[in-house]
Structure formats: C-alpha cells, structure tokens
Amino acid sequence: MGSQNRKRAALCLEELEIRLCPVTLTYWQPFSYDHQWSNGGNWSDGVPDVTHAAVFDGNHSNENCGVTTSVSATHDIYIRNGYTGTLYISQNCVLPVGNEAYLDNGAGHPVNIDFKSGGKLKIIGGDGGTSTIRDANFTTAGIVEAAGGKTQYIGTDGGITYAGFVVDAGATLQFSNSGTDGALLFKGGVAITNSGTVLVDDNDCTVARCPLFGTSLTFENDSGATVGFSSTVVTNISTFTNISLFNNGGTVNITGGGLGFSGSPYDAKMISGTINLDVGGTLVLAGNGYLQTGGSLYAKGSTTDDITAVGAIKFNGGNVFMGDGSNTYNFLRITTSSDTYIDGATFNFKVNAATSGMSDRLQIAKGTLHIDTNGGRSNMQWTINGIVGAGSWTVITADSGNAIDGDFTTKNIPVGFTETKNSSWILNHN
C-alpha cells in the first residue's frame, strides 16, 4: 500500500473513531512556537477538557508537549502510533485524566513522559474503565497516581521510571505479562505506595526491579490496601527485585506459587495488617529475610505454605495462625540459610484432640529455631477441638537436626496435656 493510501486509511479510521467515541478527539498538532498543552492553537479541536480526549499520535505530530501550569482534566489521553515526542510535566504541576489513559505506542515504541519534582500524572478513572501503560519511560522525578478504575502496566517491552506509583483507595494497579527483560525498572524514589489494590499476574518472572547496586526501594502496603497474587502452579514465582515489602496495615494474599521481594534492611517487614499464604503459597525473600513486629501471618487452607529466605526470619511481634478455621489444620514451613527467631510473637496452634497427630505445625526445614533468646516474651495459644483421647501431636519440628533453642515465655499448656521439647515440640495426652 502506498503512503497516500495509508494516510487515507488512517484518516478514515480516525473519522470512524470520532463517530463512535462518546467524546471528541483533539489531536496534538502544534503550529505555534510555545508547544504548551494550555494553548488551544496546538490542538485540532481546542484544549482537552472533560468532553475532549487528548491524542498524541505519530501520524499527526511528533512534537514535544509541555504542561507548565495547572490544567483542567481531559476526558482521556492517548499516546499511540509511534509518537516519538516527550510529554513534559513541570514542577508541582498535575496532568489529570478524568477517565482512562492509553499510553501504548505499540511494540518497540516507548512512551516518554518527563516529570520535574512534584509533577504528577493523575489517572482519575471516573468511569471505572481500564487504563493501559506499556513500555513507558517516566524520567526525572514525579508520581504516576492511579486514583480510580484499573490501571494495567503491561511490561513486555520494559520501561524505566524515576517516578513512583501511587495507588489510591478504590483504584487498582495491575502488573501484566512482565518478563526479566521486560520488567519495569525503578531508578529512584519510592517504588509503590498502595492504598488500593495491586494485582500481580501469574508471570513466573521478574515483575519490577531496581537495578541500582546497594540501593533498594519500597513497596508500601498501607491500611485498607490489598496485594494479590494467585497461581495454579506452585513453582511459579513473580518477584520484585531490590524492592522490599513494607506491610503497614494492608493485606497481602499469596495463593499458590510465590511472590518474592528483596531489599534492605529486610526483604519484607510487617508492622501491622495481614499476610495470607494459601494453597501452597510462598513468600520468597532473596536477601535480608523477614521481620514481623505486628499484624498477623496466616498459613491457610490444608496445604503446606512456605516462607523461603536467605536471611533470618524474625517474629518479634504480632500473631501467626495456621489453617482457615477452627477445624482446618496446616503446616507453615520455613526454609532459610540463616536462622529463625521468635521473640515477642504469639503462635496459635490447633489440635484435633480426637485424632492423634492431627494438628497445626511449624516446620523449620533449615536453620535453627531460637525462641525468646533475645529478651522477647512470646506466647503459645491453643485451640483444642474434639473429644480428648490419648495421643501426641507434633506442633513444631526442626528438620535440620538442630535442637530448638530457648522457650516460649508463656505456653498456656491445656489442662490434662503435657509437653515434650527437644528437636521437636510435642503435645501429649495419656
């Protein structure tokens, strides 16, 4: 097809879009010297507003655009068809998008947005639709804020960001189809601050990473927020490399497969909130281990759930539960190249008193278990189900052969039961 025919076909497609689209598309095609978003002369149908969608289209213009003053919300924004220009958002300026942002230039054509300090692209998502970001380079400093609806980051072609992602309550950020080479590269700032929902697809690969040696960023999961990962294949692991998890009141759900983090001073830290491991789910920690000072960790269901780590695992506060409900028993298995420490946490065990051997279990698959050896005051809490009969129930094992070091400050051994403690912790009833 000749170039003229291609242009006519493109124009026909655009006319069809205009007829079908409930809003008017206004194309970036600057003829003035200033290249400012706020100058109506730079657009085919005036400055974008709540009735206009802003379109940066390589078939119309590849000129740069600057947002240097506060602007009204545009209905949508499209960056497409190999647009090679850069959208500049100046210091403390906000570019609000009332509904969806479609930042997808096609394979091999990155989207370029340059933020200055305090600059922000705010995707309001007022109609609850899905925005798309693909192969986007967010340079300098700034924020990409998902304020409503769903924003999907498709990482097959990668992307470099110096900006942080902020997910507001009621909004969703979803990482899709990321690969080791296509992962989102964070170069500075705070990686993700979540007050809404972050979903991670079952990718079995690196989702996002910070490549700076000796520097790690933070994935902060705040009160009311949720992180979700689910896999039907337990060997599938999706990772945030050199990005540590800080659970600050939110919920992390890992159902099957594994969700991995690495960073400093801990790969994952929970001071409040909940981490749920279910259907063989694994929290994978690649460097500096886990610290829990509050909140609750659940090994749910009736399939062994795991924490695997290189560094130490420290339960210095909060609760650890196993099983979904009062009559569901499960294993929490910990495998670490270092040791596991319980110093101030409460471990909640359930025992089926009518069936010898059926109980929750903490399994230390590698490393030594130290209990209250650093001045902590930890507790054992018990739920005894069924009519009590004779039997024994192993609730803690140290499979590496190391003896369990130390003891719970408060054990609350149920009446009529006794304990045996060496390399395993056994509850007995005669």
Smallest CA-to-CA distance from 101 within 133, 126, 70, 128 is with 133
DSSP-assigned letters across all residues of 134-169: ESEEEEES-EEEE-SSEEEEE-TT-EEESSEEEE-T
Token pair for 235: 């060997």
One digit per residue, pLDDT tens: the chain, 430 residues?
Answer: 444 444 444 434 444 444 445 689 999 999 878 999 999 999 999 999 999 999 999 999 999 999 999 899 999 999 999 999 999 999 999 999 999 999 999 888 999 999 998 999 999 999 999 999 998 999 988 999 999 999 999 988 889 999 999 999 999 999 997 777 789 999 987 899 999 999 999 988 999 999 876 678 999 999 999 999 999 999 999 999 999 999 999 999 999 999 999 999 999 999 999 999 999 999 999 989 999 999 999 999 999 999 999 999 999 999 999 998 878 999 999 999 999 999 999 999 999 999 999 999 999 999 899 999 999 999 999 999 999 999 999 999 998 767 799 999 999 999 999 999 988 999 999 9
Which pLDDT value is given to residue 6?
A: 45
Which pLDDT value is given to residue 189?
A: 76
Which pLDDT value is given to residue 15?
A: 42
Under a CB-based contact definition with an 8 Å cutoff, are residues 375 and 345 in contact? no
- pTM assigned to the model: 0.92
- Angstrom CA distances, 330 to 210, 299, 300, 363, 410, stand at 35, 7, 7, 10, 22
For residue 11, give the H/E element and its range: helix 3-20
Which pLDDT value is given to residue 16?
A: 41
What is the average pLDDT score of the chain? 92
